[in-house]
Amino acid sequence: MPQEPKKSRQTTKDPVETSVPAPLPLKLSLEDNLQEFSRRIGSSSDIVIRHYKSEAKPPLTLAFIYIDGLVNADTVNQAVLQSLMENSTLNGDSITTEAAFNLIKEHILPVGGVKEARTLEVLLPLLFDGYTLILFEGLQVALAADTSGWEKRSINEPTSQGVIRGPKEGFTESLRTGTAMLRRRLKTADLRIEEYTIGQRTGTGIALVYLKGLASEQVLTEIRRRLNAINTDAILESNYIEEFIQDGGLTPFPTIQNTERPDAMAGGILEGQVGIVIDGTPFALLAPSTFFNFFQSSEDYYQRYDISSFLRLIRYGAFFVSMLLPALYIAVTTFHQEMLPTTLLISLAAQREGVPLPAFAEALLMELTFDVLREAGVRMPRTIGPAISIVGALVLGQAAVQAGLVSAAMVIVVSFTAISNFVIPSLAIANSIRLIRFVMMFIAASLGLFGIMSFLMVLLIHMAGLRSFGVPYLSPVAPMIPRYLKDIFIRVPLWGMNMRPKTNLGKETRRQSPHQKPQPAEDAAKPSPAQPKPQGEGPA
């Protein structure tokens, strides 16, 4: 039996490379061009090809191509088809094809964007962006009119980052809506938006948004380099970009923030971060991001500084509880019973008396049960969602304790851990802790508190070595920069944060005039020796 020759590694082509055809210039014959279009895009039902022949002699022959659903039908009909068909000059005998081309391009088409293209490789992406293509018989150049207008979701409240006080609008899946929302918040000439198209099959639009002069050039260069280095066929969500450009490789910690709040992104951009808005998802990215950025919520700045500071401290506490509580419970009940006061020890021992499982197995069972419930809650239709809480609370909580499978203390530990996990404002870092918690539990069951401390040391050293686009992940705590701690563990009043923290390799810059602490009129009128007069700095 003849054997098929083996394909060598070198001859196996990369699917991404094969999807890039050689540039094909347009031909003089309109029919040939249309045939080539049909060959490339097939005869899909949503592609509309409309022929037009003028009354002139010789007639001007054109073809319009657009994709139904991606274009605004009214714009196509009124601004393109009607304008051209009813134009008397185009129907006159004396006009040549070249003259008609220029006339259409310069005068007839009443749409904002008109582009000229000579190859199919330029025309096809425009077609998929909702442009209407106009091909001419006898010309090797075509026009593309911006008629895009597909159905979009309206602006809604963010689902994952809600606030009690503050703006209620979130990004949508539209890139342009996203950039417009940022533009509306940052009305400055320094705002820059750079666009990229990534993904050879998805052609996803990506916008790099930053404030010139505030964002570090070093960071910008690095982000641009990493974006340009992405060679993939599909970008469907911001996580695709995040995984391709984030530092740290196999780190469990996120080094890029994601947000669906335009106000949060504007706040980040104002502190020198760079925003990355991706078409097709309401989740945009912010980089560089340090560990402490993930504990800041937009609402921290929309309510009083004292309550914001308190809540921030609660979040750090919840972070440690979420990561360590089950592991500490296992370590204490297994290795270090002497740590517990006698009465508590007796109470715990009595609860665990009939439990057949060791503390680790008990904790693992409950944690996995909670994760199953949580995942089921996400997938389950909303109408039967409350059933989950009944099943979780009654069947798996109360019944399991009564059946003697788990102790009541363990149910309390797992519940408090789960609730603490939801206190953390960033889902990205909350998810990191979910995984780390399991490792901690295993180590606690094997080596007790020493194991927990050892793993904490590994995590600490890992985080200390991590960088986000050149910015140390634990800055400004390690390395310690005391004057930038005003917005880390607590938030000082806004009038106390005159300088913009230098966490992005950029320059430390002033964001507002000093001495803005409100004072009674008579005190403010007196010149104070401790407070020198402002040196004519402009308002923020």
By the criterion CB under 8 A, which residues form the site for another protein?
A: 335-336, 338-339, 341, 447-450, 452-454, 456-458, 460-462, 464-465, 472, 474, 477-480
- Given the complex with another protein, which of 213 and 465 has the nearer CB atom? 465
Q: Return the closest-CA partner of residue 376 out of 364, 363, 362, 392.
A: 392
- Given the complex with another protein, which of 329 and 370 has the nearer CB atom? 329
CB of 480 to another protein, least distance (A): 6
CB of 248 to another protein, least distance (A): 12
Count Cα neighbours of 81 within 13 Å in the Cβ-side half-sphere. Answer: 16
CB of 360 to another protein, least distance (A): 16
CB of 476 to another protein, least distance (A): 11
CB of 202 to another protein, least distance (A): 36
CB of 307 to another protein, least distance (A): 24
Q: How many CB atoms lie within 10 A of CB 3?
A: 5
Strands 257-259 and 204-211: unpaired
- Given the complex with another protein, which of 202 and 334 has the nearer CB atom? 334
What H or E segment, with its residue span, contains residue 115?
A: strand 114-117
For tokens 């007796």, name the residue: 346
C-alpha distance from residue 429 to each of 78, 245, 252 (Å): 51, 17, 9
CB of 263 to another protein, least distance (A): 32
Question: What angle do the packed helices 408-423 and 359-379 form, to 10 degrees?
Answer: 50
Asked if 262 and 167 count as a contact pair (C-beta separation under 8 A), the reply is: yes
CB of 371 to another protein, least distance (A): 28
- Given the complex with another protein, which of 392 and 448 has the nearer CB atom? 448
- Given the complex with another protein, which of 258 and 475 has the nearer CB atom? 475
CB of 204 to another protein, least distance (A): 34
From first CA to last CA, the distance across the chain in angstroms is 81
Report the C-alpha gap between 124 and 117 in whole angstroms. 10
Residue 302, judged by CB atoms within 10 A of its CB (0-12, 13-18, 19+), counts as middle
- Given the complex with another protein, which of 447 and 494 has the nearer CB atom? 447
* Residue 214 structure tokens: 């505030």
Asked if 485 and 477 count as a contact pair (C-beta separation under 8 A), the reply is: yes
Beta strands in 47-113 (DSSP E): 47-53, 61-67
- Given the complex with another protein, which of 94 and 342 has the nearer CB atom? 342
CB of 32 to another protein, least distance (A): 60
Alpha helices in 407-503 (DSSP H): 408-423, 427-465
Q: Return the closest-CA partner of residue 470 out of 306, 245, 298.
A: 245
CB of 470 to another protein, least distance (A): 11
Report the C-alpha gap between 60 and 104 in whole angstroms. 12
Alpha helices in 129-284 (DSSP H): 175-185, 217-228, 238-245, 262-270
For tokens 């140390």, name the residue: 472
Identify any residues that bridge with 223 across adjacent strands, giving them in sequence order.
none
Report the C-alpha gap between 512 and 517 in whole angstroms. 12
Report the C-alpha gap between 327 and 445 in whole angstroms. 8
| Dihedral angle of Cα 341, 345, 346, 352, to the nearest 10 degrees | 170
What H or E segment, with its residue span, contains residue 307?
A: helix 305-334
CB of 332 to another protein, least distance (A): 9
- Given the complex with another protein, which of 389 and 454 has the nearer CB atom? 454
Residue 21, judged by CB atoms within 10 A of its CB (0-12, 13-18, 19+), counts as exposed
- Given the complex with another protein, which of 101 and 329 has the nearer CB atom? 329
- Given the complex with another protein, which of 283 and 473 has the nearer CB atom? 473
- Given the complex with another protein, which of 399 and 480 has the nearer CB atom? 480
Residue 202, judged by CB atoms within 10 A of its CB (0-12, 13-18, 19+), counts as middle
Report the C-alpha gap between 296 and 133 in whole angstroms. 47
- Given the complex with another protein, which of 152 and 336 has the nearer CB atom? 336
CB of 447 to another protein, least distance (A): 7
Report the C-alpha gap between 79 and 104 in whole angstroms. 11
- Given the complex with another protein, which of 38 and 454 has the nearer CB atom? 454
CB of 482 to another protein, least distance (A): 10
- Given the complex with another protein, which of 8 and 343 has the nearer CB atom? 343
